[in-house]
């Protein structure tokens, strides 16, 4: 059979399975195989197997993208509307031979978004969520996506990163000291720089006798810790009710007897509630923030505090940040390598200078030696 005839057979069998009565998952393959035999009884076993796999991928998997998700070297899958599919491998973008048409792309969007509890349509044209394997998805549909739908999937490998995987041994030792000393740490960096990866490694470095409450917009973190409670935000339903924001979850986390609060990413008014929590005795908390550098991260946090409480002055917001955050860790990506580039200690409000470098260009700054590196160590 030609490739066109195979594609037509896959379409026909897929439609037959969809139009037929519900099929238990355990017997779905048998039903599909029987349908293929009825349509093409002379088809060879290898070709029949290919058709059955293609139909199963459409019905219960990810269609044409199934092979890409089976490839553990793929860290990101990008669909820019009907047509070619792009992936990221080893930090580099590549075009693939995989193509999706408009109908299949619509099915993929529905299959990925529906289980997340999110909705995506013309009135709500984008959505974030996660797949069953923990991958993070972002979907944008028309009219916002001019050539869409657009689908971006960030995949997280099974490998658990340690601090030593993301920094030179002396810097990794310093980061462990920050965790042990219960410093309040914010990880900054650009998109894809490894902020969440480092946050997970630091959360996994917490001792086994501490209770960690993790708050995220879309769940990604799975710290290797004994006592972890994970909370995930929820969007409003189609009636516009039922929304649970990250800010709501941060407030609720305070009632859950946390030893440490980990906020996956601070990007809005929840910054105010997080800083309030840090000022009420919840030391050792961790979070991330998009920023071009550690000092820029401090400014962004102050701006987010102002968004949450417009009655504050800029000076008060900056002082609140300086009084709550102990250390900013900045990560960068060089190709496929993510690494800690800078670490700064945030001095108490009114101090000159306002910050003190602990790590510069991936190496300990002059005079810095592990646990002697910040005010919580008696400096």
Q: Please report the pLDDT score of residue 86 as a whole number.
A: 95
Are domains 64-154 and 163-377 of this chain identical in fold? no
Nearest CA-CA partner of 178 in 289, 320, 286:
286
Task: Decide: 359 and 163 in contact? Cβ < 8 Å.
Answer: no
Q: Residues 250, 256, 257, 262: is their CA dihedral positive or negative?
A: negative
Per-residue pLDDT tens digits of the chain, which is 379 residues long: 777 788 788 878 877 776 667 666 557 788 888 888 888 888 888 888 888 888 777 666 677 787 888 888 898 999 999 998 999 987 789 999 988 888 888 888 887 887 776 778 888 898 888 787 778 889 999 999 999 899 999 887 666 789 999 999 999 999 999 999 999 999 999 988 899 999 999 999 999 999 999 999 888 888 888 899 999 988 777 677 888 988 899 989 989 999 999 998 888 888 888 888 887 777 899 999 999 999 999 999 999 999 887 788 999 999 999 999 999 999 998 877 889 999 999 998 888 899 999 999 999 998 776 554 444 443 3
Is-contact 186 325, C-beta < 8 A? yes
Question: CB of 188 within 8 A of CB of 328?
Answer: yes
CA distance 29 to 12: 16
Please report the pLDDT score of residue 340 as a whole number.
Answer: 96
Please give the model's pTM, rounded to 2 decimal places.
0.76
Please give the pLDDT value at position 75: 87
Name the CATH superfamily, with its identifier, for domain 163-377.
P-loop containing nucleotide triphosphate hydrolases (3.40.50.300)
Q: Could you tell me which of 135, 202, 136, 134 has the C-alpha nearest to residue 166?
A: 202
Whole-angstrom Cα distance, residue 170 to residue 175?
A: 9
CATH of 64-154, one of 3.30.1950.10, 3.30.450.370, 3.90.1150.10, 3.40.50.970: 3.30.450.370
Contact 246, 231 (CB under 8 A): no
- Tell me, rounded to whole angstroms, the distance of Cα 169 from its chain centroid: 26
Of 8, 97, 7, 23, nearest to 60 by C-alpha is 23
CA distance 359 to 345: 10
Cα 164 to Cα 16, 104, 170, 177, 374: the distances in Å are: 53, 42, 9, 13, 21
Nearest to 159 by CA among 272, 44, 73: 73
Please, which residues have CB within 8 angstroms of residue 379's CB and are 6 or more apart in sequence? 372, 373
The Cα-based distances of 88 to 71, 91, 101 in angstroms read 11, 6, 21
Domain boundaries, the chain: 3-60, 64-154, 163-377
Cβ contact 234:260 at 8 Å: no
């Amino acid at each position: 059979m030609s490739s066109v005839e195979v594609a037509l057979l896959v379409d026909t069998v897929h439609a037959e399975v969809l139009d037929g009565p519900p099929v238990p998952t355990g017997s779905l393959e048998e039903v599909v195989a029987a349908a293929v035999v009825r349509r093409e009884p002379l088809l060879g076993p290898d070709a029949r197997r290919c058709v059955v796999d293609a139909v199963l991928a459409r019905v219960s998997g990810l269609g044409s993208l199934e092979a890409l998700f089976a490839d553990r070297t793929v860290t990101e899958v990008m669909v820019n509307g009907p047509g070619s599919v792009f992936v990221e491998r080893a930090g580099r973008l590549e075009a693939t031979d995989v193509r999706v048409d408009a109908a299949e792309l619509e099915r993929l969007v529905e299959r990925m978004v529906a289980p997340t509890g999110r909705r995506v349509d013309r009135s709500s044209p984008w959505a974030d969520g996660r797949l069953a394997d923990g991958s993070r998805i972002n979907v944008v549909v028309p009219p916002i996506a001019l050539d869409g739908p657009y689908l971006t999937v960030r995949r997280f490998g099974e490998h658990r990163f340690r601090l030593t995987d993301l920094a030179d041994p002396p810097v990794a030792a310093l980061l462990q000291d920050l965790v042990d000393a219960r410093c309040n740490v914010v990880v900054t960096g650009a998109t894809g720089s490894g902020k969440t990866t480092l946050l997970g490694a630091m959360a996994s470095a917490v001792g086994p006798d501490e209770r960690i409450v993790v708050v995220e917009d879309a769940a990604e973190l799975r710290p290797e810790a004994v006592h972890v409670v994970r909370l995930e935000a929820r969007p409003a339903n189609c009636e516009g009710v039922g929304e649970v924001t990250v800010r709501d979850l941060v407030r609720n986390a305070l009632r859950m007897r946390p030893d440490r609060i980990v906020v996956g990413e601070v990007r809005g008014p929840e910054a105010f509630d997080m800083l309030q929590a840090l000022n009420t005795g919840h030391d050792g908390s961790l979070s991330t923030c998009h920023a071009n550098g550690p000092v820029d991260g401090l400014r962004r946090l102050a701006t987010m505090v102002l968004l949450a409480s417009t009655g504050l002055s800029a000076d008060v917001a900056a002082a609140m940040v300086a009084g709550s955050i102990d250390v900013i860790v900045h990560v960068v990506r060089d190709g496929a390598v993510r690494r800690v580039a800078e670490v700064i200690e945030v001095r108490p409000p009114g101090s000159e200078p306002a910050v003190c470098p602990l790590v510069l260009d991936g190496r300990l700054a002059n005079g810095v030696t592990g646990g002697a590196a910040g005010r919580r160590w008696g400096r």
